[in-house]
Chains A and B, each alone.
Chain A
């Protein structure tokens, strides 16, 4: 019953450091997403993927990179961490395009990142 699993749950980075946020889903979903949530704001889409080997930019992609080598995994990489990247990061997945339940996105518990 794992669903969407994100690791780590918390992380503190120094400016200029790099790290990879991990996301894995066991529901065989084609679509996967990375969002960031800043205090008092809605979620903003960073990157998304419609299937293995296919990724595309969202609204706020600068400073991030992604890859999708398997259906299950969708890691998000920060190359040169900046204080503006302090946020809570959520990974989500859904089965595909269509009506009803296919449109429901399932979210991980999030990664809280601080860049100091």
Chain B
């Protein structure tokens, strides 16, 4: 059974600091890994999707890395802004095509 863990559960940083969010998974037989953003009371928005054959993906200030063999992914957000405050979830696509989600890391960027 695939288990996805995100540590820490919450993070507070001053504006301008770089953010590092961690995601670990127990079964390395994954098809891809996605990072989502969730704002309070809203649905999830996909940020980055990394195929299992890729090592990283970048979009603007966001960079996500994937180390499948060690079961880890890291989301980097450069030069954080108050608008980056949200909950960030990672999800891995399993061999049965379903997603397993972590519980998320809630980020607060202080102005």
Contact = CB atoms under 8 A, between A and B. Distances in A.
Nearest to B98: A45
Q: How large is the interface on A (under 10, 10 to 19, 20 to 34, 35 or more residues)?
A: 20 to 34
A103 B32 contact: yes
A58 B94 CA distance: 13
Interface string B80-111: 00000000010101000111111110000000
B38 to A, nearest CB: 9
Given A42-B104, A100-B51, A106 B46 contact: yes
Contacts of A92: 43-44
Interface of B: 4, 9, 31-32, 34, 36, 41-46, 49, 51, 89, 91, 93, 97-104
Interface of A: 4, 35, 40-45, 48, 58-59, 90, 92, 97, 99-101, 103-110
